[in-house]
Amino acid sequence: MSQRYPKRRRLNKTSRDPSNTSSVPQTLEDAHFVAATEDDKKNWPGWCEIESEPAFFNVMLKQFGVKGVKVREIVSLDEEILGFIPRPIYGIIFLFKWREDDPVNHKQSCSDNVWFANQTVGNACASIALLNIVNNIPNCDLGDHLQAFKDFTSSFTPSLRGNAIGNFEFIRQVHNSFARKMDMLNEDLLMKNKVDAARKRSRKKSSSNDQGDAAFHFVAFVPVDGSLWKLDGLERQPYSLGKVESDDWLNLAKPDLEARMAAYEDGQIEFAILGLVKDPLVNLVRDLASNIKGIQAVEALLDQTDVDWRSSGANTGIETEVPENTLLGTDMHFQIDNTSIESATLLPEVQHKLSGSSTNATDILDFRRKLALDQTSLRVAIKEEQASDYHDEDRAAARRHDYGPAVKTWTEFLARKGILGELLDSKKE
């Protein structure tokens, strides 16, 4: 028989209202459950932990200003599964429970053309892994902030680059946009505990083999200058895993990844693999612009062949209409403007049709209709990628939302009704 907890004194209505974000916390305990403000995140000197969720990384890249790069989850290293990952793959990020490697097994070496930063601040490994890849992608559009940072740190050592990242407000604020109040409090408490533990170790030597507090960590793999490099921010230098013989460099990374995955016991999934790939939207928008330019060129050819082809079709029975929603010009919903159409390259089949000697309007109209049908699949693919981007934004917004105040309010409600005590008692039984 569970004992009903006595009713608590009713709290002030203003302090209980979760919609009243301007209310002043009544106690220090209440302050812990107030959602972190933008100023709180901006002024917090720490770095929050970020899960290995592709949506979060995609939003971070977008806010960094990086264009043309997207993060996809790699669920398996099997060739059949890897075939579904868009190409080219610029690099991969491996999340695992960190264990210190044997330094004897690695030779420290680094090409001058490899941009690599050490991790000198806690929990920054997600941002550092991203930077260690995108800064090594040839001709990558990094955006103004990251490009200036890359140029500024080009002559730095890895450790100095790591310090520069820790002091770069722009990167830290994008990273900490995912911080919630409890994340910040937990990280501050963890730091305090580490300081206290360090003081105790100075008086009493502790075992160096304790893996109980092993943390999760991100490591990057990226091909640069014909070699595959493992970029681990916790190591002093990157390590070359060998020469890359072709564009498909994943086979060279597999042994290292599989060795780490094999270290886990059966049933333990304490790792994740993310791939940084060329954003499929880049090629899709380019192909759509080329398609529209082709249709325009074919219509210009029809104008030369038969000026009245648009109206004569009704009299001759020739089909002159194209499928509904076919784009014949600019449309910003699909990121198509005049510049993208003008700079597009005509498909070889369009060039062949334009250079041919055929003046048969029916043949040209059939070809125009074929281009319009081809465009349908392009528009569908673009909408799917755009929907994926919207989904990423929604996932990131949900992750950033601070549910602490709502949880506190709901818990207080259960306590006032006497339900919380019964739930706790049932757990003990």
Q: Is 425 helix (H, G, I), strand (E, B) or coil?
A: helix
CA distance linking residue 313 with residue 94, whole number of Å: 59
Cis peptide before 88 (omega within 30 of 0): yes
CA distance linking residue 128 with residue 410, whole number of Å: 38
Q: Which of 46, 40, 70, 45 is nearest to 58 (CA)?
A: 70
Strands 239-243 and 271-278: unpaired
Alpha helices in 218-360 (DSSP H): 250-262, 280-305, 309-316, 338-342, 348-355
Q: Is 156 helix (H, G, I), strand (E, B) or coil?
A: coil
Q: Which of 366, 389, 182, 356 is nearest to 284 (CA)?
A: 389
Q: Which helix (H) or strand (E) holds 367?
A: helix 361-400
Active site residue 48: no
Active site residue 125: yes
- What is the CA 136 to chain-centroid distance, rounded? 17
DSSP labels for 374-414?
HHHHHHHHHHHHHHHHHHHHHHHHHHHS--HHHHHHHHHHH
Sign of the torsion angle spanned by Cα atoms 193, 198, 199, 204: positive
- Residue of 48, 140, 175, 217 marked catalytic: 217
CA distance linking residue 170 with residue 42, whole number of Å: 10
141: amino acid identity, one letter: D
Answer whether 53's CB lies under 8 Å from 399's CB: yes
- Residue of 125, 145, 352, 401 marked catalytic: 125
Half-sphere exposure of 382 (CA within 13 A, CB side): 19
Sheet of strand 271-278: strand arrangement: 69-73, 271-278, 89-97, 216-224, 227-231, 239-243
Answer whether 301's CB lies under 8 Å from 364's CB: yes
| CA geometry: angle 418, 9, 401, nearest 5 deg | 75
Catalytic residues: 125, 217
